[in-house]
Amino acid sequence: MLSPANIVFCRDSITNAYSQVLFSDRPWLGGLLLVVSFINPYAGASGLLAVTFTFFLANGLGLSKELIRNGTYGYNVLLLGLAMGVYYDFSLSFVLMLALGCFIALMLTVWMAVRSSAYKIPFLSLPFVLSVWVVVLSSRGISSIQLTERGIYELNDLWQMGGAPLVQAYNNVEHIHFPFALDVYLKSVGSIFFQHNLAGGFLIVLGLLLHSRIAFSLSLIAFYAGYFFCWITQGNIDQLNNSYVGFNFVLTGLAVGVYFIPSVKSYLLTALIMPVVSVAIGALDVVVSGYQLPIFSLPFSIVVIGLVFLMWNRVEAKGLPMVLHQQLSPEKNLYSFRTDGIRFQSSAFWHIHLPFFGEWRVAQGHGGDITHKGDWSYAWDFDIADETGKTFKLPGHDRSDFYCYGLPVLAPAAGYVVTIINEVEENEVGNVNTAENWGNTIVIKHHDHLYSKLSHIRKDSFKVKVGDYVRQGAILAACGNSGRSPEPHIHFQLQATPDVGSKTLKYPIAFFIEKGEPPIFRTFDIPVEGKAIFNADPHPVIQNAFTFTPGQKLRFRTDGAKPQQVEWEVRVDALNQSYLYCAATQSAAYFINNGITFYFTQFYGNRQSLLFNFYLAAYKLLLASHPGIVVTDVLSVQGFYNSATKFLHDFTAPFYLY
């Protein structure tokens, strides 16, 4: 017996299978496509039967519930069901063959999903094409499975189903005068769901437009680029209108929008790849026609799989970045890519922190006038200055008079100590040792091609030795005045090689606070010369309040006209991403806590829920207590623009973001 939860799960699995055909995560689009599939009721019934059967089969076999629910296991069997419903008469033998075909398609889907993931490539509709070939070839020897004659006498079929009104409605739609190029586009789009008619094509295009403006525009560019290539090469344009091949152009355009970040170059790629699709259609048609097999979406699948594999193996992106975290929406992929590049730089950089306690001054920054020039431009000198700008207490003749002298020097990040120099004597104030330029120095390896170097250390103050593993913030030594150092300070730089004289590497400091009115919290930024800066040390109370562990449940009671109890659960998905989940509203808010900041990354679900309000309120929080501090962030178009503004903005987003 199905429980309400199982019924919802079954409904989501079926509608998601329909929406996955168009690379979508929108259940409502799946519902629309379900309706479209029933324009040909035989195709619709067969497709729905195939998906339903596969749902119970996959559950019974214990396959991943998430992959069942999101339609991954369902969309190839859906296409198989639609195709069989179009080409065969219904009978008991037909139902048995449909069930066997679904089992074969499911096996191929699971196998290809595992194998393709190792190469980061999609398997698209290959299971559908292969399984339908198996059905077509095997059914030739089964006399109880017959090809249908329904499409030959279409008006008679409509008369039997709905009488004169249905025939009249069909004629009214089919006799609407469209230019040939538009007519063939609409019918090609309809053919994706085996509805080679204007009504089906129009509804799918409408759903595509409402789902994604970028996908809609790419479908137009892709189809008409292929159409134009057929025209200039004097190919058989009528073939696009009379067979299921035109939709290969449309599907390829949609795939480019999903697997590549939308941009001017991705639109050009869409147009330029269409001749390849056209050639693949012609070549594959010749190969399989000898066996009287249809090519269906095989050209699209082969070209897109090859293109994705090719692009993943590039050394440089060349302005065509791939989608790393797939959201099945060109707009979501684009907006996340643009904002994540600024918001979530933590995933792109090894976290480097300031190498000291308390507040210090940037005495010399990048490209400084004194010593930070040429290959050694990207370095900092740090000291401590009082309110008047002096770096010492009177009389200032001795090293110990300087505020920073002898203070701890910290490991800027975890790593292994690879070099220590501890033989250079301390300078008297005003003197420099140019022969031993760097003075006493320590070099730490943090990652391949990432080392930090701290120089002018006080002799015999080292607390570590070569080979030691140090954690971020560990005390390494004390600030001194050795080498080319007229007064005590710390020289700090990042470099790609372990040598003491290595070239500097331009690399940001992960988190620091810049003193001022008001103080400013900087993330992955370059400290500027003359500014007083200090580490952003998290406050334990604030840090504890926003430390969420998997399995933890948060309960709230809302006040107002309708008080209610609200419960959220902390979960982790398959990609090890943490999120808050509200079962009552089926909403999820993904977050990151890096120990210094807490911020949300994505929200899915009900925007009227309490969880969405919390998502807005805690969009980015500094887990430290500094009165008046300014924390800046970038707001994504996704979720903050109103619907009308975003709808219009989506059309121009690949070219210009407002």
Both 451 and 501 in a single domain?
Answer: yes
Structure tokens at 44: 């619709």
3-state helix, strand, coil in the chain (%, to 5): 45, 15, 40
What pLDDT is stored for residue 156 in this prediction? 55
Q: What is the token pair recorded at 441? A: 């120095």
The whole-number average pLDDT for the span 323-344 is: 79
Residue 284 tokens, joined? 């594959």
Q: What letter would DSSP give residue 243?
A: S
User: Quick one: pLDDT band at residue 465, thresholds 50, 70, 90?
Assistant: very high
- Asked if residue 491 has pLDDT above 80, the reply is yes
Q: What is the pLDDT of residue 82?
A: 92
Grade residue 579 by pLDDT with cuts at 50, 70 and 90.
very high
Whether residue 520 is predicted with pLDDT greater than 60 in this model: the reply is: yes
- Let me know whether 142 and 92 are in one domain: yes
CB under 8 A, 24+ apart: contacts of 340-344: 340/601, 342/634, 343/599, 343/601, 343/620, 343/633, 343/634, 344/592, 344/601
Confidence check: pLDDT of 336 > 70: yes
**Mapping DSSP to helix (H, G, I), strand (E, B) and coil, where does residue 580 land?**
strand
569 in the same domain as 484: no
CATH number at residue 453: 2.70.70.10
The confidence band for 174, taking pLDDT boundaries of 50, 70 and 90, is: low
Examine the domain organization and report whether 302 and 387 are in the same domain: no
pLDDT of residue 453: 97
For range 120-145, the mean pLDDT? 90
Structure confidence at residue 563 (pLDDT): 79
CA pair distance 455, 488, nearest whole angstrom: 11
Q: Check residues 266 and 142 and name the one with the higher pLDDT.
A: 266
Residues 375 and 499 in one domain: yes
pLDDT, average across residues 143-147: 80
Q: Are residues 35 and 108 in the same domain?
A: yes
When pLDDT is averaged across residues 11-24 and rounded to a whole number, the result is 83
Determine the Cα–Cα distance for residues 24 and 230; give it in Å rounded to an integer: 29
The band of 1, judged by pLDDT with boundaries at 50, 70 and 90, is very low
Q: pLDDT-based confidence at 402, cuts 50/70/90?
A: very high
Determine the Cα–Cα distance for residues 384 and 343; give it in Å rounded to an integer: 31
Per-residue pLDDT, 631: 83
**Could you say which of 490, 507, 524 is where a domain stops?**
507
Whether 345 has a pLDDT exceeding 80, the answer reads no
pLDDT reported for residue 172:
65
Same domain, 119 and 212: no
Instruction: Tell me, yes or no, whether 49 lies in a domain.
Output: yes
How many domains does the structure of the chain reveal? 4
Note the pLDDT tens digit of each residue in 224-264.
999 888 888 876 555 655 556 788 999 999 999 999 999 99
Helices 298-312 and 126-139 pack at an angle, to 10 degrees, of 150
Q: List beta partners, residue 236.
A: none
Q: Which of these ranges, 176-180, 388-392, 433-437, 493-497, has the smallest mean pLDDT?
A: 176-180
Classify residue 59 by burial, with Cβ atoms within 10 Å: 0-12, 13-18, 19+. middle
Last residue of a domain, one of 328, 350, 380: 328
Whether residue 27 lies inside any domain: the answer is yes
Residue 318: give its domain's CATH number: 1.10.3430.10
| 526: confidence class by pLDDT, cuts 50, 70, 90 | very high
Residues 120, 258, single domain; the answer is no
Cα separation, 559 vs 565, whole angstroms? 9
Residues 5 and 127 in one domain: yes
Q: Is residue 353 part of a domain?
A: no
pLDDT (tens digit, 9 = 90+) per residue, 258-303? 999 999 999 999 999 999 999 998 889 889 888 889 889 999 999 9
More confident residue, 405 or 343: 405
Residue 443: inside a domain:
yes
Looking at the chain, the whole-number percentage of residues with pLDDT higher than 90 is 45
pLDDT above 60 for 197: yes
Query: Does 318 lie in the same domain as 189?
Result: yes
pLDDT for position 643:
75
In the predicted model, what is the mean pLDDT of residues 330-345?
A: 77
CA dist list (Å): 402 to 121, 202, 391, 395, 422: 60, 78, 6, 10, 21
Alpha carbon of residue 443 to chain centroid: 36
Q: pLDDT of 59-90, one tens digit each?
A: 999 998 888 888 889 999 999 999 999 888 88
User: Is the confidence at residue 499, as pLDDT, over 70?
Assistant: yes
- Residue in 484, 485, 504, 486 with CA at minimum distance from that of residue 494: 504
Q: List the domain range (segments joined by +) for residue 7.
A: 1-148
Q: Is residue 493 part of a domain?
A: yes
- Is 337 within a domain? no
Asked whether residue 131 falls in the same domain as residue 215, the answer is no
Flag whether the pTM goes above 0.95.
Answer: no
- Name the band, by pLDDT with cuts 50, 70 and 90, for residue 644: confident
Length of the chain: 658
Residue 214 domain-assigned? yes
